[in-house]
Structures are given as C-alpha cells and as structure tokens.
Amino acid sequence: MGVAEDLADDLAQKVIQYVDASGDDGVITDIVNILGATSQTAEEAFLTSMRVRRANQKARALLLDRVRKFQATQAETSATDSDTPTS
C-alpha cells in the first residue's frame, strides 16, 4: 500500500478499537470531516479501510456463529448416537 493507505488503515484500526470500547461512533464522522477538509485521498482511504475492516469483522462473527452452531449440532448428534443401543 501507499503512504495514504497505510496511514488511513492505521487510523481506521485505532478508531475501530476506540468505537468498540466506547460505543462513540460519532468520532468516525468527526474524523471523516477533518480528513475531507484536508485531503480527499486520505478521507477516501480511511473510509475504504473502515468499510473493509468492519465488513471483515461482521463476516468473521457470522462464521464463528455458524461454526459454533455446527459444533453444537455435531455434539448433539454424537451424544444421541452414543445413547442409542446397538444390536
């Protein structure tokens, strides 16, 4: 990545950490306004990084949920199979 993308991605990571900890997602708008007033390139890179990272978080959460459900189903099936007497 280039300098703008690297800096924007680093900033996006820090903003996401802050928002996750504080719940203050208004900071995103404030940062976008600052970046947009000074550098459209930085603003676009930041927004792209935010979207990509948040989408990735949501996708990973969905996958984790599906894996847990699958494992629970497998455990139930295994428990049911071991409870069934064999002839």
| Total domains present in the chain | 1
First-last CA distance in the chain: 64
Residue 34 lies in a domain: yes
Q: Which two tokens stand for residue 68?
A: 């847990």
Residue 71 lies in a domain: yes
Per-residue model confidence as pLDDT tens digits over 14-36: 999 999 999 999 999 999 999 99
Residue 19 lies in a domain: yes
Residue 61 lies in a domain: yes
Q: Give the pLDDT band (50/70/90) at residue 8.
A: very high
- Cα angle 32-33-36, degrees, rounded to a multiple of 5: 80
Residue 35 lies in a domain: yes
Per-residue model confidence as pLDDT tens digits over 39-87: 999 999 999 999 999 999 999 999 999 999 999 999 988 888 777 666 5
Position 82 scores a pLDDT of 76
Position 1 scores a pLDDT of 73
The b-or-e profile of 4-40 (16+ CB within 10 A means b, else e) is: ebebbbebbeebbeebeeeeeeeebeebbeebeeeee
pTM confidence score: 0.79
- Domain range spanning residue 48? 3-75
